[in-house]
Amino acid sequence: MVSRSEQRFIRINLITIIVTLLVILAGGIVRSTGSGMGCPDWPKCFDRYIPPTDVSQLPANYKEKYVAGRLKKNEKFAKYLESMGKVALADSIRHDKSITIPEEFNPGKTWTEYLNRLAGVAAGIFLLLTAIYSFNYRKTAKRIIVLSIINIFVVGYQAWLGSIVVSTNLAQWVVTVHMLLALVILAISIYTYNYAKQLNKAPSVIMYKILWLKGFLFFTLVVSIAQIILGTEVREAIDIIAKSLAYSAKATWISKVGSIFSYHRDLAILVIITNGIVYKMVIDRFSGKAAPLLTAKFILVTLFIQLLSGIALAYIAFPPAAQALHILFSTLLFSLQFYLYLLVYRTSTYKQ
């Protein structure tokens, strides 16, 4: 029997997962519209809690002011990298001339980035609520408490890294780490959600062998993570190309990316094949309204939308909507695969 307090935790945890996905969607919109520097400072936006709507609301020296602020923060970050032995990386940040180029004020981009930050705050609040309500499990499942608290620290580090993303003028490798941390936050939330739901249920038992499915699902997860990393690197290469062409001639961007795009495209074929095999293995072992079967069906739908958005990006000159959807559905695909893995992991084969 699930108590009301436990039901409340499960509900808040689910909302947290949904809000986190919305934050990733908002980040995708920011990336696709080039609004990442819409707010040159962090956590405020032009030193305001509510950003300006017109350049007349800004101080005359706002460009010099925020460039100086970024340089100061980057110097601290460079010293942090040096303490970790990343001397070359620290020097590259210190000598990155693009950081000294101020962004022109654009109210549309400013508010797009501001709304992205508000979505991040909402996610932080729900993660905090999840951690608070996790104490309902202090006698039955302490790992839920530990993981929920760890997620708060991960989000705190993610927020700090978000400020570095701004101060380094969207330095490519920082954006990649920022994306991977979002997957970590999602994975922890999905794990605690599933663990809480299954806590009072007996493990599933089926008549068929499940070990191969467990192993292949893990492999599929690794492939998807690799694909997300490659996709982020493709996007980083596109950013460099777009800047060099003053954001013109979009139709030529893909052709200039190089081999990393070919790897990303070819790995997409493997992602399709592995998920198709997973679906076949699941329908061979589960039936009716079993949660693994329903999750596998959602994976196929998500994969189809992801494929369409990828085709649009490659052959229709990077439409902003497709960029945002591509990022969202890549993380949604990972989330569903991880959830399916957790469901299958608790399943065992019936033995007479």
For residue 157, pLDDT beyond 70 = yes
> Residue 135's pLDDT is what?
94
C-alpha 41/C-alpha 68 separation (Å) is 11
Nearest to 42 by CA among 30, 53, 51: 51
**pLDDT band of 293, cuts 50, 70, 90:** very high
Query: Cβ distance 224 to 333 under 8 Å?
Result: yes
Output DSSP code: residue 349. E
- What percentage of the chain carries pLDDT values higher than 70? 94
C-alpha 312/C-alpha 326 separation (Å) is 9
For residue 109, pLDDT beyond 80 = yes
> Residue 2's pLDDT is what?
74
- Highest-scoring range by mean pLDDT, 26-30, 67-71, 237-241: 26-30
**pLDDT band of 317, cuts 50, 70, 90:** low
> Residue 298's pLDDT is what?
95
> Residue 80's pLDDT is what?
79
- In the block, tokens 């569903």 appear at 336
C-alpha 245/C-alpha 57 separation (Å) is 31
Nearest to 292 by CA among 175, 223, 203: 203
Query: Cβ distance 130 to 174 under 8 Å?
Result: no
For residue 352, pLDDT beyond 60 = no
Q: Which residue has the higher pLDDT, 143 or 33?
A: 143
User: Torsion angle, CA of 120/123/129/132, rounded to 10 degrees?
Assistant: -80
For residue 192, pLDDT beyond 60 = yes
What tens digit of pLDDT does each residue of 175-185 get?
778 888 999 99
For residue 172, pLDDT beyond 70 = no
- Region 127-156 average pLDDT: 94
**pLDDT band of 154, cuts 50, 70, 90:** very high
- In the block, tokens 């800047």 appear at 243
**Cross-strand partners of 349:** 206
C-alpha 333/C-alpha 350 separation (Å) is 30
- Region 251-256 average pLDDT: 77
Residues with Cβ within 8 Å of 103's Cβ and at least 6 positions away in sequence, in order, are 37, 38, 40, 63
For residue 170, pLDDT beyond 60 = no
What tens digit of pLDDT does each residue of 53-90 get?
888 888 778 888 888 877 887 888 888 778 878 777 77
> Residue 126's pLDDT is what?
95
- What percentage of the chain carries pLDDT values higher than 90? 35
C-alpha 180/C-alpha 225 separation (Å) is 9
Q: Which residue has the higher pLDDT, 157 or 172?
A: 157
- Give the up-direction half-sphere exposure of residue 94: CA atoms within 13 A in the CB hemisphere: 13
